[in-house]
Amino acid sequence: MTTQPPVPPTEPGQPGAAVPMCYRHPDRETYVRCQRCERPICPDCMREAAVGHQCVECVRGGNRTTRQAKAVFGGRAVTVPRVAYTLIAINVVAYALQTFIPGFTNDYALSPYHVYAGGEWYRMLTAAFLHFPLTQGTLGITHILFNMWALYAIGPELERRLGSARFAALYLVSALGGSVAVYLLGEVTVGASGAIYGLFGALFVVSKRLGYDPRGVVWLIVINVALTLFLSSVISWQGHLGGLVTGGLLAAAFAYAPAKNRDLVQWAAVGVIVVALILTVVLLPPYATLNAF
């Protein structure tokens, strides 16, 4: 608590010294001054500074000129990985809807035929938030548990390195890349695995760029790819590999963009990849689906 020094005595016949008043509250006496502008400030207007106190306006002005902390590869620094946790929540809510609403899975699953013949493009992304329903027993619950565990394990770290906006772009574009591969070469499917494999690819690229030993990530990818191919009768290898390649390419653009024009290069890469994926669907038919007839 700041104490006020006593007013010095005045000589007989001289007027008393003027008592300083807070510049924001003229009715309040104060003997404390802002360390920057030296205006008198009352306790309500004081803000702790490195030395002494500052007034509200000086603190506000200092915040405007202070550079915002950055993530390693651009964007604002991330303390709480809100995007990763939000994606987990969306997947869980979608799974609940699949469980309690009949026909929900069929309406939003990725069906190459419905995309090609019916123009239902939304399925390319909605399917990435769905999983095998509980009606499929152990396979259903295992599917979402593995994907959400992987997202929880590596998502926050990637979000801190890339920044929230870039991480969200990585996840969604990887999901789209996996869906495009399924559209071309697969059948009806659901799952966040394309996006998750995109995160695997991004984790490898980021590890290499930062000089970390990537062998652990390589083994993670190799084991999961092997499982994908071994269980190809129940797992969409197209979605997994499509997401892996897309995520790796986009992460390379994020990690190796030149510092001078980093933002421009990174977001241009996002646009180029998205346009390329869209054109692939526009120009090419779903080969596996058409060959099945």
Q: pLDDT-based confidence at 46, cuts 50/70/90?
A: confident
Q: How far apart are the first and last CA of the chain?
A: 83
pLDDT of residue 7: 46
Given a cut of 80, whether residue 79 has pLDDT beyond it is yes
The DSSP line for 38-60 is --B--GGG-EE-SSSEE-HHHHH
Angstrom distance (rounded) from CA 49 to CA 63: 12
Taking the alpha carbons of 37, 40, 46, 52 in that order, is the dihedral positive or negative? positive
Q: For the CA atoms of 96, 100, 106, 107, what is the dihedral angle to 10 degrees?
A: -80
User: Is residue 25 flagged as an active site residue?
Assistant: no
Encode pLDDT of 48-62 as tens digits: 876 678 888 887 776
Which of the following is catalytic: 174, 193, 207, 236?
A: 193
User: Is residue 174 flagged as an active site residue?
Assistant: no
How is residue 184 written in tokens?
């071309």
Question: Where do the domains of the chain lie?
Answer: 19-63, 82-289
Q: pLDDT-based confidence at 101, cuts 50/70/90?
A: very high
Does the structural domain 82-289 have CATH classification 3.60.60.10?
no
Angstrom distance (rounded) from CA 238 to CA 178: 7
Q: pLDDT-based confidence at 160, cuts 50/70/90?
A: very high
How is residue 280 written in tokens?
């692939």
Which of the following is catalytic: 53, 114, 143, 240?
A: 240
Is 8 in a helix, a strand, or coil?
coil
Average pLDDT over residues 107-132: 95
Cβ atoms of 234 and 142 within 8 Å: the answer is: no
- Range of 15-24, 217-226, 259-268 with top mean pLDDT: 259-268
Q: pLDDT-based confidence at 233, cuts 50/70/90?
A: low
Nearest partner of 187 among 236, 119, 127, judged by Cα = 236
Query: Which DSSP state fits 110?
Result: B
Angstrom distance (rounded) from CA 110 to CA 104: 12
Residues 6 or more apart from 9 whose CB is under 8 A from it? none
Strand partners, 206: none
- For the full predicted model, state whether its pTM sits above 0.95: no
If you average pLDDT over every residue of the chain, what do you get?
87
Average pLDDT over residues 27-34: 87
**Helix boundaries (H) for 119-214:** 123-126, 138-162, 164-185, 193-209
Cβ atoms of 88 and 148 within 8 Å: the answer is: yes
Given a cut of 60, whether residue 12 has pLDDT beyond it is no
Given a cut of 70, whether residue 232 has pLDDT beyond it is no
pLDDT of residue 135: 67
Encode pLDDT of 239-275 as tens digits: 999 999 999 999 999 999 998 899 999 999 999 999 9
